[in-house]
Structure formats: C-alpha cells, structure tokens
Amino acid sequence: MSEMLEIVSDVFEKMCKDFVTKETVDLLEEGQWASALWQQLEDNELLKVAVTEQHGGANGDIADLLALYQLVGYYSVPAPVLEHTLANFILEAVGLTPYSTVTTILFDEQYDKADGTMHHVPWARVAQQLVLVAKKQLMVIDLSQATITQATNLAAEPRDTVSFQQAGIIAQVALSKQQLQQLISYSTAAKLAAMSGALDKAFQLTVRYSKEREQFGRPIHRFQLIQQHIAILAGEAAIATAAIENIAHGMERSEIAFASIRLDEASKIVATSAHQVHAAIGVTYEHSLQHYTRRLWAWRDEGFTAHYWQNQLAQELLQIEDLWAWMTTK
C-alpha cells in the first residue's frame, strides 16, 4: 500500500468509525441514508480519490478505489460511495467528465436507448444522473426527468425502478468490445472488494461474540466446535483479502473470474459459520451480524455474478490449445 493510499484509507476509516454506527446502517430500513457521512466525505474530497487532477481529484487509480470499497463493505456504509466513485472513474476511463453531484451506475446490455423501464438501479432516489453502460455504448442520463419507484435488495439497500420517456441524455459515447470488458472488470472488482470487507467483518464479529458469550461457565471460543468455525472463517477472510490484492495488482480478467467464483463460495461458508456461532441472536435486528450476511447474500446475486464469470472462463479455456501450459503459468 502506497503512503498516499494509507493516509486516505486511515481518514476514510476514521470517518466510518465516527459516522457509521449500527443505528446509521439501520436507517436504510426506514428509507433513509447516511447523508451526514456523505457530506463529510465530500468536504474532505474523499469522493475524488480516483478522479484525475485535471478535474480536481487526487489522481488515484482502481487499486485505491478497491481499498476504499473494502472499508465500504467492512462498515456497511449506507451511502452510494461505491456507485458514485466507480461511475466517475468509468466516465474518465471513456473520456467523459466526472460529476460532483451524486451519480449512480448501472450495467445492462439490454438497453441501447434511454427509454422504457430499468430495474435494480442502485441509489437512483438520491442521484442526479445515471451512468448507463449498455452493450455498445455508455450514456449519462439526467434522472430529474425519470419516474423513480423505490425498491430495495435483500439488505435494504436502494435498488430502484427507473422509468423514462425520451430521457435527457447528457453525454454519450460508443464502446468497443474491449472497453466494455474492461468496464465489466472494474464493476466486478468493486463488488468483490466490498464483499471482502463484509466477509472480514463477519469474521471479526464472530471472534468477538465467541469471547463474550459463555456456556457452562466458560467463553464458547474454548469449545472445539466453535474453534473449528473460527478457523474456517479466518481462512475464508484471508483468501478474500488475498484475492482483492491480486486483482488490484493487475486487473487481469482471469484473476477477477477466479476471485468471483471463490468469493461466491466464501460468502456461503462465512454466512453459515458466523450464524452457527451466533445462534439465534445473529439473525435478529438487535445484532449487527445480519447487516453483513444480508449484504453478502444480496451482492453475490447482483451485477456480474460468479455464474457469469464461470461462463467467461469456460469460453477462454475452450480457446486454449495447450491447457496445461496455461494452467501452470496462471
């Protein structure tokens, strides 16, 4: 981690500790969000970490964003930090200007025009513009002219339905197949980084609970079965962290595919073991474990899933003549 990234991560995490409590995350259940945190991030220009200096940013890169997205997942940040910063990063990647007002992003290959209805648009209710990445083009759409019906995913995060009739297109650019693949890689890496953070937090919560909860006169972490669960959780959390570090170093599609498939499996294992250790309290609103396991279950089914990357990887493998050489060099 570079010195600049270390400083930025420390400041971002301090704000999360100060502003993201369990009660703040619970605001999503009531249709609210962490606007106070958003204002702090905006005032400290942490939403411009990966924006170029030309547009007033810190000139960071995707590796810097992935480090922040791990914290977004670790604290269940109830604000569109990932969507806004990723949208601006992608806008600059295709030669367009980023926005300071709240911006969200949606990948949907079905749309080649900005008309009709789009489902599962993250945070559309608070965003001013939508970056729509379609099969052959990218469009920036003014959301002030859209009809927005509020909806949520399993974790109560906004996933709204947006309807347009002759929507106002602010900017538009054609995408090559290679550009689209690169943008899909960025989107998947961002989601995986957030999942990595949530996996780690579920592990940390489980360790803490196992030390606090007592049965038969001693903390439950002294029981062999609980120790086995904790060992499994530690292994999965370490694998997830290592996978994100590998992605950040080169953004290779094969690394993203492997990580997507592995973290999909890890999310099932971690959610199962963490709830086994917590027992009934882990599924109640009074305990924060459900914030993280619900996000893992929601995120693994959103965007470009492990199933998508399994197909991509299979297609790539079918093109290779010397499979052994490929396997031993990857």
Is the pLDDT reported for residue 6 higher than 90?
no
**What separation in angstroms does the CA of 32 have from each of 156, 301, 309?**
10, 23, 34
Nearest residue to 108 (alpha-carbon basis) of 96, 98, 122: 122
Min mean pLDDT across 15-19, 119-123, 279-283 is at 279-283
Residue of 291, 294, 301, 311 lying closest to 264 (CA atoms):
301
Q: Band of the pLDDT at 280, cuts 50, 70, 90?
A: confident
Least confident of 11-15, 231-235, 325-329: 325-329
The encoded tokens of residue 156 equal 């109560």
**Binning pLDDT at 50, 70 and 90, where does residue 330 land?**
low
- Reading the block at residue 189, the tokens are 């890496």
Residue 1 has pLDDT above 60, yes or no: no
Give the model's confidence band at 281: pLDDT under 50 very low, under 70 low, under 90 confident, else very high: confident
Q: Output the pLDDT for position 71.
A: 97
The rounded mean pLDDT for the chain is 94
Q: What type of residue is 285?
A: Y
- Which residue do the tokens 């949606």 mark? 106
pLDDT, position 166 = 77
pLDDT value at residue 285: 87
Cβ neighbors of 47 (< 8 A, separation 6 or more) are: 41, 81, 84, 85, 88
Q: What is the pLDDT of residue 7?
A: 87
Cβ atoms of 212 and 306 closer than 8 Å: no
DSSP 105: E
Residue 114 confidence (pLDDT) above 70: no
197-250 pLDDT tens trace: 999 999 999 999 999 999 999 999 999 999 999 999 999 999 999 999 999 988
CA distance 198 to 268: 12
Q: What is the mean pLDDT of residues 162-191?
A: 93
Give the tokens for residue 80: 């569109």
pLDDT band at 179 (very low <50, low <70, confident <90, very high): very high
Strands 147-149 and 137-142: unpaired
Look at residue 112 in the predicted model and tell me its pLDDT.
Answer: 67
pLDDT of 328 reads 85
What pLDDT, in 10s, does the model give residues 20-68? 999 999 999 999 999 999 999 999 999 999 999 999 999 999 999 999 9
Residues 267, 258: Cα–Cα separation, whole Å: 14
Q: Report the Cα–Cα distance between both ends of the chain, in Å, rounded.
A: 23
Interatomic CA distance for residues 270 and 234, integer angstroms: 9
From residue 261, alpha-carbon distances to 21, 191, 269, 273, 317 in Å are: 31, 13, 13, 19, 15
